[in-house]
Amino acid sequence: MRPYHQIPIFECGEPLLAIPLELFAVESPHPYEKLGAPYGDRSPYYLRQSVIENLIQAQNYLESLHPKWRIQIFDGYRPIAVQQFMVDYSFAQAVQERGLTEVELSPNQRQEIWQAVYEIWAVPSLDEKTPPPHSTGAAVDVTLVDDTGKIVNMGSLIDEMSRRSHPNFYADSDSPEAEKYHARRQLLWDVMLKAGFQRNPREWWHFSFGDQMWAWLNNQSNPANPVSARYGRLV
């Protein structure tokens, strides 16, 4: 259970729609599709209607600050089967990076690796009360592309399982490089926040609107005016 799972969901029934990709930067084919993630006839470049509208607002605001810059959409809607695939893939990658094999793992090693995986990845829960954010069509992973078409270096890769993924990891460093990374993360946060999104406290790239995490973060900063989640899991 995450803290935001206490938030009730009142599904509004808003449709899942294709993101107008011509307005954004995008990687094709999709990174998880290249790994073999089982999307079937679903597309990762779909979001709820209001989420798309807010994302367009964020893009417009970014352009007003930095002409010809683009928000790059890394990932949007993610079926539970894809969530499970990526959790398993990330576990296998973490085992490999540690120079281990799964059959040799001690219980403590296995627990430590799963803990690292779930620092980044939501549990692929089938419980309607605890949906992974991306399975609701309300969460989107994004980064920035500059006016030359180059992906902006944010100081860590999306999905990196390390403390560098935390949004404020570089906040207290006085090295010029770290200050640059933090300023870029702040820029991304500013344009998304202005459009109504909230940012995952553990991931600089993950933003949501209308799901449990969004409601929980809103309620943390504005307890006098609590909100509920409007988007639940889509099957």
Evaluate whether residue 42 is within a structural domain. Answer: yes
pLDDT digits (tens, 9 = 90+) for 92-143: 999 999 999 999 999 999 999 999 999 999 999 999 999 999 999 999 999 9
CATH number of domain containing 74: 3.30.1380.10
Cβ atoms of 14 and 49 within 8 Å: the answer is: yes
Q: Is pLDDT of 1 > 90?
A: no
Please check the confidence at residue 41 and state whether its pLDDT lies above 90: no
pLDDT score, position 208: 98
Residue 81 has pLDDT above 90, yes or no: yes
Q: Would you say residue 174 lies in a domain?
A: yes
Convert the pLDDT of each residue in 167-208 to its tens digit. 999 999 989 999 999 999 999 999 999 999 999 999 999 999
**Count of alpha carbons within 13 Å of 209, Cβ hemisphere only?**
20
- Asked whether residue 169 is assigned to any structural domain, the reply reads yes
The pTM assigned to this predicted structure is: 0.95
218 in helix, strand or coil? helix
Is residue 64 a part of any domain in this protein?
yes
C-alpha to C-alpha distance for 8 and 209, rounded to whole angstroms = 15
Q: Quote the CA–CA distance of 196 and 174 in Å, as a whole number.
A: 30
Average pLDDT over residues 51-56: 98
Q: Is residue 210 part of a domain?
A: yes
Is residue 107 a part of any domain in this protein? no
* Cβ neighbours of residue 118 closer than 8 Å, sequence gap 6 or more: 87
End-to-end Cα separation, the chain, in angstroms: 21
Average pLDDT estimate for 214-234:
96
Is residue 120 in a domain? Answer: no
The amino acid that residue 92 corresponds to is A
Q: Cis bond leading into 29, ω under 30°? A: yes
Per the annotation, the verdict on 119 as an active-site residue is: no
Name the pLDDT band for 42 (thresholds 50, 70, 90): confident
- pLDDT at position 197 is 98
Mean pLDDT of the chain: 96
Confidence of residue 28 (pLDDT cuts 50, 70, 90): confident
Q: Residue 22 has what pLDDT?
A: 97
- The catalytic position among 11, 53, 104, 203 is 203
pLDDT of 79 over the 90 cut: yes
Number of structural domains the chain divides into: 1
pLDDT of residue 235 exceeding 80, the answer is: no
In which domain, by residue range, is 62 found?
A: 3-80+125-221
